[in-house]
Amino acid sequence: MKLNSNKIGIIILILSIFSNICIYAQNESNLASKHEVLDSLSLKSVIDSVFKNNPIINQLSENINGSQAKIDLAKTSYLPNVDGVANYSHMDPNPEINVPNLGSFQLAPNNIMDAHIAVNQLIYDFGKTKTNVSLQKTNKEISEITVDQAKQKISLAASIYYYTLIFLQEAEKIKAEQLEILKKHLAYVEKKQETGSATRYEIISTKVKISAIENQLTEIQSNKDLQIIRLNIMMGKPGYLFSVKNEIQNNFEIVPVDSLYNTAFINRDEMNIAKKKETLAQWNIEAVKAQNRPMLGFTGTTGFKNGYLPQIESLKPNYFLGLGFRIPIFDANRTKINVKIQNSNLQSTKFETENTGRTIMNEVSESYSNLLVSEKKVEQYQLQTEQAQEAYQLAETSFQLGTITNLDLLDASSTLSESKLLLLKSKIDQQLNVIKLNLSIGKRVY
C-alpha cells in the first residue's frame, strides 16, 4: 500500500512539473510574439511623431494663421470699398411752385427711387496703413519663433524620455546577463554540495542574490513600460508597443565658452523674441503717431435716380465724383500721451532683452559645466568597468583553483554589473548634457 502511494505521488509530481513547463513555455511564446512586432524607433522619428500630434504645437501653429489673417486685414486699406445701394421712399405732399398763367409744378416725385454703386478709395494716409501692416508682420514673426521655441522644449522632454528608455533597455540586458550568471553559479554550487565541497550557506546566499536581481529586473521592466507610456502620450499613440534604437553619440566639440555665448545670443529663440518685441514696441510708437496724420480719399457713385426736372418721375443715369482731405488739428493731446506710454513700453522691453541675455548666459555656463563633468565621469566609469572586468576574470580563475569562495566570485560579478550600469548611466547623462548645451546655444534638436 505504501509502495502504491509513493508511485502515485511521483506521478503527480511529474505531471505537475510537466504542466508548469507547458505553462511557462506558453507564456514565453506569448512574450516572444509580443516583442517580435515591436518597432525600433529613432530619436528623430519619435520627435516627428510628437510634433505631428502635439496639441500645443498645433495651437501655436494656428496662431500663425491668425497673424497672417491680421496682415491681410491691415492690407485691405489699400483696396477700395464698393457698395451697391438701392433706396425707395414715398412722400406726400410734395413741394410745388405756382407759375402765373402756367399753373403749378411739382418739384419732387411722390415715389423717390435711387439705385447706385458707391466707391470709396483711400489714396494716401501718410504711412498709417504701412505702419499697421509692418506691426502685424512683426506679430507673425513672433508667433513663428514661439512655435520653434515650443518645439525646442518639447524636443528636450522627448529626448529625456527617449534616452531614459535606452538606459532601461540596456540595464535590462545587463541585469538579465547577471541573473543568468548567478543561476549558472547556483547550479554549480549545488553540484559541489552533492560532493560535500560547498555549504548550504553558499547556496542560500546565491539564491538571495538571485532574488534581489530578479526584483531589480522587475523594477527596471516596470519603469521601462512607464517610459513607453509617457512617450506614447507625447506621440498621441496610446497602446503602441515599440523599442528605441541605441543612439548614444556624444558628438559635441568642446569650444571656449565665450564663443558659445555669442552663438546663443544669435540663435536662441528667447533672444530673438525679445528683439522682435523691441521692434514691435517701435512699430506701436509709429502706429500711435500715424493716428494723427492727414488722410486723402476718393469717393464716387454712379447709378439711376428720379426727381430731375422737368420729368421728375423718370429714372435718369447720374454720377458723382469727389475728393476728401482730413487734417487733424487738435486731439486733446491724446497722441502725445500715447507716444509717451509706448516709449515707456519700449524701454521696458529693452530691459527684458537684457535680462534674457543674462539668463541665457547662465544656462550656457551651467550646461557647459555639466557636460565637462559628465565627460570626466564617463572616463572614470570606463576605467572602473575595465578594472571590474579584469577583477571578475581573475576571480573566476581563483574560484576554479579553489582559492576564493563562490560568494567572492558573486561579489566580483555584482561589481562588474554595477560598473556597467554606472558607465551606461554616465554615457546617457553625457548625451543629455550635449542636447541641453545644444539647446542653450539655440541649436535645433529636431
Specify whether 131 is located in the same domain as 202.
yes
| 280 and 362 fall within a common domain | yes
pLDDT tens for 140-168 read 999 999 999 999 999 999 999 999 999 99
Is 19 or 334 the better-scoring residue by pLDDT? 334
Per-residue pLDDT band at 105 (split at 50, 70, 90): confident
In terms of domains, do 261 and 334 share one?
yes
Which has the higher per-residue pLDDT, 172 or 16? 172
Most confident of 184-188, 197-201, 207-211, 383-387: 383-387
Number of structural domains in the chain: 3
Name the band, by pLDDT with cuts 50, 70 and 90, for residue 9: very low
Residue 232 is assigned to a structural domain of this protein: yes
446 located within any domain: no
Query: Do the domain assignments include residue 9?
Result: yes
Burial (CB count <10 Å: 0-12, 13-18, 19+), residue 1: exposed
Q: What percent of the chain has pLDDT over 70?
A: 90
Regarding whether 266 and 167 lie in a shared domain, the answer is yes
pLDDT band per the 50, 70, 90 thresholds, residue 403? confident
243 and 117 together in one domain: no
Please check whether residues 289 and 375 belong to one and the same domain. yes
395 in any annotated domain: yes
Consecutive H or E run containing 252: none
Q: What is the pLDDT of residue 16?
A: 40
The CA distances from residue 7 to 10, 16, 20, 226, in Å, are 5, 14, 20, 49
Residue 186 lies in a domain: yes
DSSP 8-class letter at 77: G
Q: How far apart are CA 152 and CA 141, in angstroms?
A: 17
Beta bridge partners of 85: 116
Least confident of 57-61, 117-121, 199-203, 365-369: 199-203
Average pLDDT of every residue of the chain = 87
Residue 258's pLDDT band (cuts 50, 70, 90): confident
Binned at pLDDT 50, 70 and 90, residue 27 comes out as very low
Give tens-digit pLDDT for 192-206: 788 777 778 888 888
Lookup: cell for 330:
487738435
Question: Residue 18: is its pLDDT beyond 70?
Answer: no
Q: Which domain holds residue 103?
A: 83-124+301-327
pTM greater than 0.75 (yes/no): yes
Cell of 222: 516596470
Same domain, 11 and 134: no
| pLDDT at residue number 127 | 92
Query: Three-state SS across 174-206?
Result: HHHHHHHHHHHHHHHHHHHHHCCCCCHHHHHHH
Band (pLDDT 50/70/90 cuts) for residue 179 is very high
> What does the pLDDT read at residue 188?
84
User: Any alpha helices (H) in 268-405, and if so which ranges?
Assistant: 269-290, 334-401
pLDDT at 252: 64
Residue 284, in any domain of the structure: yes
Residue 16 and residue 69 in one domain: no
Q: How far apart are CA 46 and CA 140, in angstroms?
A: 28
Identify whether residues 116 and 199 lie together within a single domain: no
179 lies in the same domain as 276:
yes
Residue 44 included in any domain:
yes
Residue 445 domain flag: no
The pLDDT tens digits of the residues spanning 295-349 come to 999 999 999 998 888 888 889 999 999 999 999 999 889 999 999 999 999 999 9
Indicate whether 163 and 220 sit together in one domain.
yes
198 and 341 fall within a common domain: yes
